[in-house]
Amino acid sequence: MSDSDHPRVLISEEQIRDRIKELARQISLDYADKGELTLVGVLKGAFMFLADLSRELTVPRLIDFIALSSYGRGGAESGAVRLLMDVRESLEGRHVLIVEDIVDTGRTLRYLTGLLEARAPASIRTCALVRKQARQEVEVSIEYLGFDIPDVWVVGYGLDYAEQHRTLPYIGVVEPDGLR
Ligand code: IMP
Ligand code: MG
């Protein structure tokens, strides 16, 4: 499969744009009187979502990144999570909003929440663009959710299949052979 193939549209550019505006409005309201917010984008998948979401916010904010990797085929199957790159800034006493591309089993998010909670932030919440609710294995809270999607492999808008399709402007579906 290459980037010249065109995955079927699941969530269009316009739907993504509209939903991000709604999420940003809600987040800006909720953090209006809390001082500066730290947005922690989870690389690589959340880079595009973070870029668009952060520009719609009206509250003071800092941008940071963390990179995680899941072992196993398809990136999610074994459930083991590894820290590849940590945030640059201290999170102590900060209001932290984790910005994730997708929540599948929930293991990545649970690992990340545990990791960051240990650093004594003032608060910690999560914003995820999409969630596959049927696949969720562990309890995680997502305070700001873009879309619930069925159990399909999605690409685009930051999401990949074997590093392909990340820069598609929409979220599409691929059916890679033998993935599931
Ligand atoms: P988890 O199962 O919730 O821990 O998700 C692990 C990671 O698998 C996510 O952060 C994504 O990087 C990746 N992932 C899960 N489902 C998809 C998908 O449909 N498309 C692209 N990446 C996915
Ligand atoms: Mg991810």
- pLDDT tens sequence across 20-65: 999 999 999 999 999 999 999 999 999 999 999 999 999 999 999 9
Ligand 2 centre distance from Cα of residue 160 (Å): 10
Coil, strand or helix at 91: coil
| DSSP 8-state secondary structure symbol assigned to residue 137 | -
pLDDT digits (tens, 9 = 90+) for 119-133: 999 999 999 999 999
Residue 107 near ligand 1, beta carbon < 6 Å: yes
Rounded-to-10 torsion of CA 115, 143, 136, 161: -80
User: Which secondary-structure segment (H or E) carries 5?
Assistant: none
The model carries a pTM of 0.93
> E-assigned strands of the chain?
8-11, 37-43, 61-70, 81-85, 95-103, 123-131, 144-148, 153-155, 171-174
pLDDT digits (tens, 9 = 90+) for 95-108: 999 999 999 999 99
Q: Is the pLDDT of residue 77 over 80?
A: no
Among the bound ligands, the one closest to the CA of 105: 1
